[in-house]
Chains A and B, each alone.
Chain A
Amino acid sequence: MGDTNDGLAERPGGESAGQRLRAAREARRQGIDKVARELHLSVGTVGALERDDYASLPPPAFVRGYLRGYARLLGLPEQEIVDAYNRVAGGGSDPEPGAVVRGQSEASPTSWFGPLGLVLLGMAGIWGYQHWRSSQISGEAPSPVELSEPVPVEPAVNGTAMPGREEVAPSTGGPAPASNPMAAADALGSPAASPYPSTQPQPSPQPLRPEVDTLTLSFSGESWASVTDAEGKKLLFENVTEGQVKTVQGKAPFKITLGRPADTHLEFNGQAYDHGYKTNRTSARFIVPRNAGH
């Protein structure tokens, strides 16, 4: 028994278990059907054993048993035959228990809670960033509703922060602008070159307002002036002399107080603005609105 490996190789009939069994059966002049009947196996199974066709046979636990029974029937050493089979089948791995039920119960609460929690955390982070970003944009840029084409602007704000979220944008307008955040973002910077063909009637073509309004004050006499922008920031608060020109930039509407209004000429975003004061008898307090000059 100890020299089974070498012993099998030396045998003239061949090394494999099936070849040895077949040779022994033929030497005894026994038919395969008779052997099958004695072993209570089908002729196909016995044939597969002799051909070493283990793929068509049951798991190794059965095959070893069949081989032992066959070897015993023919008077061959059982262990040698099984050893020869083990060498060919590589020991034959047994099927793993519990596979079916384990597969069904993979999705235990603890198994998916971790990744789901991470995804939720990530989404919350993105939402927070987007919210912060949109508030930043609305602080700097004009309100989207002032655009000539309001529908595509809504995704444009989202799109600048998170291009991958097109599906959450409202789809009340045309599909093309909603699904193209980059184009919508372009629309912010260059309103004249808006690529969206507007199907809705527009009252009049309005140029988009610049993000920063410019107010120019030209003084033809000595005066004092105060200019405060929409955020309460004092842009100008000083005495001026004749011939001085002061230009301030900020967010309209501007709150203006002038000591000698008749001697002060205003330009709002490059266009003359008439404050309506013709004399210098009283100081003037007025507001230059955002749409002044249009």
Chain B
Amino acid sequence: MFKRLRGYFSNDLSIDLGTANTLIYIRGQGIVLNEPSVVAIREDKNRGAKSIAAVGSAAKSMLGRTPGNITAIRPMKDGVIADFTLTEKMLQYFIHKVHPNRLLRPSPRVLICVPCGSTQVERKAIKDSAEGAGAREVYLIEEPIAAAVGAGLPVSEARGSMVIDIGGGTSEVAIISLNGVVYAASVRIGGDRLDEAIMNYVRRNFGTLIGEATAERIKHEIGSAYPGSEVKEIAVMGRNLAEGIPRSFTLNSNEILEALQEPLAGVVEAVKQALEQTPPELGADVAERGIVLTGGGALLKDIDRLIAEETGLPVVVAEDPLTCVARGGGKVLELLDRKGGTPFFLE
């Protein structure tokens, strides 16, 4: 009863609980939070007690730079919960952050997007985690549906729409028609794998170690998925493996393109498999209109061109692809109190 009472003072939230970033959309307000899904833990070695040192952006800046008693952890891995307790704490922190009213503990209704490849156990863990963080009611929705709704695709039409959501941990490929998923596949390739590929490439070819944050910066600045006419360069610092001393070196976009070939090929393969499995009528719809890219991975330069050239189909990048899932969840949230509810919820 108190939860319901507190609910009157809480907002309905749509949460994109991503591996790399967590986005929160408040009904009627839009995206209000976009922070890295990172939690920093401080351990008191004398007493053995652990406490939260930082969450979100503050914790991310500690990644790879922490002293011995602080550990920066990403509690989500491959789109699902890797550390239940930390995910709960992180959600609790974010939910509090978007509710400025400190008098009452917030008890919102929460919609969370889950990868379509997640298991029942993983979904239950996400649900329990959100309930533990104070949610009054938790609704789960498949990420590709939310992404398609957020991208503005006509999901309710009897017409196939193909969406590729490239997130931090996973890439979801789905064909949607009549408010339902006709085909969905999830590959555990995302932004993290791209970063990892860059780190491996640099270590292998330059004999230098770079951290995750540096790899991500390289990807953002000169990363591309398809050979372009201009070649960009970036100067980075890394620890030379032979000398053990930090050295500066220069990378160019062609090298990064080469580094990203393997994980990108995995995404392209998933898209081709989806097209193979798609019923012919829906496949024709996709061929006519094209494939829509969402998620942070869609911001990688020329990734639309790579998929277009590989499949021979038109590929478009959604407007503001990073927030598509959270915005789509928000749109579904708007339908929550309408007559008949919404057809998208799981379970």
Which residue numbers of A lie inside 8 Å of B, CB to CB?
39-42, 58-62, 64-66, 68-69, 92, 94-102, 104-106, 108, 111
Contact = CB atoms under 8 A, between A and B. Distances in A.
Interface stretch (B19-27, B89-97, B151-159, B210-218): B151-159
Contacts of B335: 97-98, 102
B312 A40 contact: yes
Contact of B152 (A39, A61, A98): A61
B331 A97 contact: yes
Contact of A106 (B156, B313, B339): B339
A65 B316 contact: yes
Contact of B343 (A39, A66, A101, A111): A101
Nearest to A61: B152
Nearest to A86: B319
Interface in B185-201: none
Nearest to A97: B149
Nearest to B332: A97
A102 B340 contact: yes
Given A97-B332, A101-B340, A105-B339, A68 B156 contact: no
Interface string B35-62: 0000000000000000000000000000
22 contacts: A39-B314, A59-B153, A61-B319, A65-B316, A65-B317, A96-B156, A97-B156, A97-B332, A98-B179, A98-B335, A98-B342, A100-B157, A100-B178, A100-B179, A101-B340, A101-B342, A102-B335, A102-B338, A102-B340, A104-B340, A108-B339, A108-B340
A58 B156 contact: no
Interface residues of B, number: 36
A42 B312 CA distance: 12
Contact of A61 (B292, B332, B339): B292
Contacts of B290: 40-41, 62, 65-66
B183 interface: no
B84 interface: no
B340 A100 contact: no
Nearest to B316: A65
Given A40-B313, A108-B340, 20 more contacts: A40-B290, A40-B312, A41-B314, A60-B152, A61-B151, A62-B290, A62-B316, A65-B315, A68-B316, A92-B152, A95-B154, A95-B155, A97-B155, A98-B343, A98-B344, A100-B156, A100-B178, A102-B339, A105-B339, A106-B339
B176 to A, nearest CB: 10
| Residue from B151, B319, B332 whose CB has the most chain A CB atoms within 10 Å | B319
Contacts of A68: 316-317
B154 A105 contact: no
Contacts of A106: 339-340
A278 to B, nearest CB: 87
B342 A64 contact: no
Given A59-B153, A102-B335, A97 B179 contact: yes
A58 B289 contact: yes
8 cross-chain pairs, A with B, having the tightest CB-CB distances, nearest first: A65-B316, A94-B152, A105-B340, A61-B152, A101-B343, A95-B154, A99-B156, A97-B149
Interface in B251-268: none
B283 to A, nearest CB: 15
B113 interface: no
A94 B157 CA distance: 13
Given A39-B314, A61-B318, A101 B289 contact: no
Contacts of A94: 152
Contacts of A60: 152
Majority secondary structure, B binding face = loop
A66 B292 contact: no
Interface string B315-347: 111110000000010011001001111111000
A174 to B, nearest CB: 49
Interface in B160-216: 178-179
B300 interface: no
Given A97-B344, A101-B179, A61 B156 contact: no
B298 to A, nearest CB: 11
B308 interface: yes
Contact of A66 (B152, B154, B314, B339): B314
Contacts of A62: 289-290, 292, 316
B304 A69 contact: yes
B295 to A, nearest CB: 15
A65 B343 CA distance: 28
Contact of A98 (B156, B288, B289, B308): B156
A32 to B, nearest CB: 15
A60 B158 CA distance: 18
A152 to B, nearest CB: 48
Contact of B308 (A40, A95, A111): A40
A34 to B, nearest CB: 15
B156 A101 contact: yes
Contacts of B292: 61-62, 65
A225 to B, nearest CB: 76
Nearest to A102: B340
B319 to A, nearest CB: 6
Nearest to B335: A98
B343 A69 contact: no
Nearest to B319: A64
Contacts of B319: 61, 64
B131 to A, nearest CB: 25
Given A99-B156, A102-B338, A64 B149 contact: no
Contacts of A59: 152-154
Contacts of B308: 40
Nearest to A94: B152
A92 B319 CA distance: 12
Contacts of A58: 289
Contacts of A102: 335, 338-340, 342-343
